[in-house]
A and B are shown apart, each in its own frame.
Chain A
């Protein structure tokens, strides 16, 4: 198993009230899967993504990523796991403004301490892979939304991570461009990349091969896509 979680609990404290965002979530995701995490807002799907992405730590429970118990790590160790093993794709792209596309793609390699020459080489190759080899030196403001999201995907891929975590990757795009981005993610999955996608749109979720439904911090649905598509 690439991802193995046991009884994940996450409790937020807001003043006097406690909010249980995750309630004993136990999920296994294998290498090469394409999973869509669905659910209404407040269902805990975002919290689950943050824990999977090592951005947040569970209050209790276990998270083992590629055989490594990452739920016990903190601070800079988590930063290192994010850097090496996880590629993020966000709804708002989160590219650095006034910074050429290629330097945006390089960013994770900069924090990995890779030297400049190798960095540029790999970043250029990754931009070509997402179809933006010609636009390596364009700034985000000079690119369309779809192109910006492709740069973000190249940035997620450049460290050759274990999995891609995509949080509403089509939320800021028109539907046609959104479908193109999904097709790209599907293509990456076919090449062997594990993809976990958060969405609330059924149209988008149908690109995945497995659907995890969240409600009130629990997994209430876990089925193969064939059933959904039918």
Chain B
């Protein structure tokens, strides 16, 4: 018997017990729906991570100084002053795939006219903008002469510009940072929130030397060459991991660390840090995966159960079909197609439910979701496999009936 014929028989048989068929499908509907939601949420989270990595600047490494011990108390990372301008220069000189920029950070009150604002001051180099892939909205960056001369010039973030200047043009205005007058030579483009929710646009950039001598440092600090953090960007298309290893070995060598001695700095791959922060959505996806697999399993067992009932109910029909010439594979095919039809209809209903639920989640929880044809295909394939797997045993039972006994069955 051909497939269309088998399908017609299956649909007719399922239509006889509509409610029973619908209830049997329920497990598959929920299971497939959960698969769809799971993939939609998971793919949405993935897309968000990728988007944020792009926004932050891809392939970023962050080097911070190691910990130090003061009177037996071990202080945290960043407490030691192990990173210097020379480390930055060495990275830029010796690792061609890497671009490094230092940052010396401190908080300060900035004043323009009669308004003031508390913000973060970063002493850095022009490379910082390239490393962070942070374009200027207006003005220009620092010039080498300004860097060398510790010129009193600054670039301000979008938030600082708005808070101090409102609608006025900040360029060439003079602002005071810790009572020192600075000329605003540029305004940074909007970067938005960081992953931690802090405003990345709330900052002022000044030349490193200026920061050290005029803003953040003391007289003695002005003489040393330490920096707070080093940002490193791996060139596009280069393996960040490889660059990370190179930077690590270069810094260990420069700091004269023997093998076996711990690093006196910490090196973090920001993409990895961000990916880890998406763990919460991954937990949800995992939970849904659990719901999906339990539901599909229970749904499959339900199908098997109903198919066994159906085979018993239709024993005489099976006997009759055998008497008029049905071969074993005809009977096997008939019941297998019926089971698969049941699970596939359930699967399609599940796809509809899953898409609906995904859209609802996007609406209510504000999560990003990504619906893909591949996910739908995967879920339907799942339903198909369940139908074949759990339909096979009842179908084989039907095909192996003895025609004499089947015909005599009451």
User: Is the Cβ of B327 less than 8 Å from the Cβ of A107?
Assistant: no
User: Is the Cβ of B323 less than 8 Å from the Cβ of A56?
Assistant: no
**Alpha-carbon distance between A159 and B324 when the two chains are bound, in angstroms:** 10
User: Is the Cβ of B325 less than 8 Å from the Cβ of A56?
Assistant: no
Residues of A within 8 A of B (CB): 50, 53, 55-56, 75-76, 79-80, 82-84, 88, 90, 92, 94, 96, 98-99, 107-108, 110-112, 155, 159
**Alpha-carbon distance between A111 and B329 when the two chains are bound, in angstroms:** 11
User: Is the Cβ of A82 less than 8 Å from the Cβ of B328?
Assistant: no
**Alpha-carbon distance between A159 and B326 when the two chains are bound, in angstroms:** 14
**Alpha-carbon distance between A55 and B326 when the two chains are bound, in angstroms:** 12
B176 part of interface (Cβ distance < 8 Å): no
**Alpha-carbon distance between A193 and B325 when the two chains are bound, in angstroms:** 20
User: Is the Cβ of B16 less than 8 Å from the Cβ of A88?
Assistant: no
**Alpha-carbon distance between A96 and B267 when the two chains are bound, in angstroms:** 76
20 residue pairs from A and B, CB less than 8 Å apart: A50-B404, A53-B323, A55-B322, A55-B403, A75-B327, A76-B327, A79-B325, A79-B326, A80-B325, A82-B323, A83-B324, A83-B325, A88-B323, A88-B324, A94-B317, A94-B319, A94-B320, A94-B407, A96-B317, A108-B325
Chain A residues near B12 (CB-CB < 8 A): 98-99
Q: Which residue of B lies closest to A47 (CB)?
A: B404
Given A96-B317, A98-B16: A84 and B325 interface contact (C-beta under 8 Å): yes
Q: Which of B12, B16, B323, B330 has the most CB of A within 10 A?
A: B323
User: Is the Cβ of B317 less than 8 Å from the Cβ of A82?
Assistant: no
Given A90-B407, A96-B317, A98-B12: A55 and B327 interface contact (C-beta under 8 Å): no
B252 part of interface (Cβ distance < 8 Å): no
Interface string of B2-33 (1 = CB under 8 A from A): 00010000001000100000000000000000
Chain A residues near B317 (CB-CB < 8 A): 94, 96
B1 part of interface (Cβ distance < 8 Å): yes
Q: What does DSSP make chain B's interface, helix, strand, loop or mixed?
A: helix
**Alpha-carbon distance between A108 and B326 when the two chains are bound, in angstroms:** 8
Choose from A75, A98, A107, A108 the contact partner of B328 (Cβ within 8 Å): A75
Chain A residues near B5 (CB-CB < 8 A): 110
**Alpha-carbon distance between A56 and B323 when the two chains are bound, in angstroms:** 11
**Alpha-carbon distance between A163 and B323 when the two chains are bound, in angstroms:** 14
Chain A residues near B396 (CB-CB < 8 A): none
Q: Given A88-B323, A111-B1, output 19 extra A-B contacts at Cβ < 8 Å.
A: A75-B327, A79-B322, A80-B325, A83-B324, A84-B325, A90-B407, A92-B316, A94-B407, A96-B317, A107-B321, A107-B324, A108-B324, A110-B1, A110-B5, A111-B321, A111-B324, A111-B326, A111-B327, A112-B325
Residues of B261-319 at the interface with A, using a CB-CB cut-off of 8 Å, are: 316-317, 319
**Alpha-carbon distance between A111 and B9 when the two chains are bound, in angstroms:** 13
Interface string of B140-159 (1 = CB under 8 A from A): 00000000000000000000
Rounded to whole Å, the gap between the CB of B195 and the closest CB of chain A is 62
Chain B residues near A75 (CB-CB < 8 A): 327-328
**Alpha-carbon distance between A82 and B329 when the two chains are bound, in angstroms:** 16
Q: Which residue of B lies closest to A82 (CB)?
A: B325
Rounded to whole Å, the gap between the CB of A220 and the closest CB of chain B is 23
Given A75-B328, A79-B326, A111-B326: A55 and B404 interface contact (C-beta under 8 Å): yes
Chain A residues near B320 (CB-CB < 8 A): 90, 94, 96
Q: Which residue of B lies closest to A93 (CB)?
A: B320
Chain B residues near A83 (CB-CB < 8 A): 324-325
Given A107-B321, A110-B1: A79 and B407 interface contact (C-beta under 8 Å): no
**Alpha-carbon distance between A82 and B322 when the two chains are bound, in angstroms:** 8
Q: Which of B316, B321, B325, B327 has the most CB of A within 10 A?
A: B325
Q: Which of A55, A76, A79, A92 has the most CB of B within 10 A?
A: A79
Chain B residues near A111 (CB-CB < 8 A): 1, 321, 324-327, 330
**Alpha-carbon distance between A177 and B324 when the two chains are bound, in angstroms:** 25
Chain B residues near A155 (CB-CB < 8 A): 324
Chain A residues near B403 (CB-CB < 8 A): 55-56
Q: Which of A53, A92, A96, A111 has the most CB of B within 10 A?
A: A111
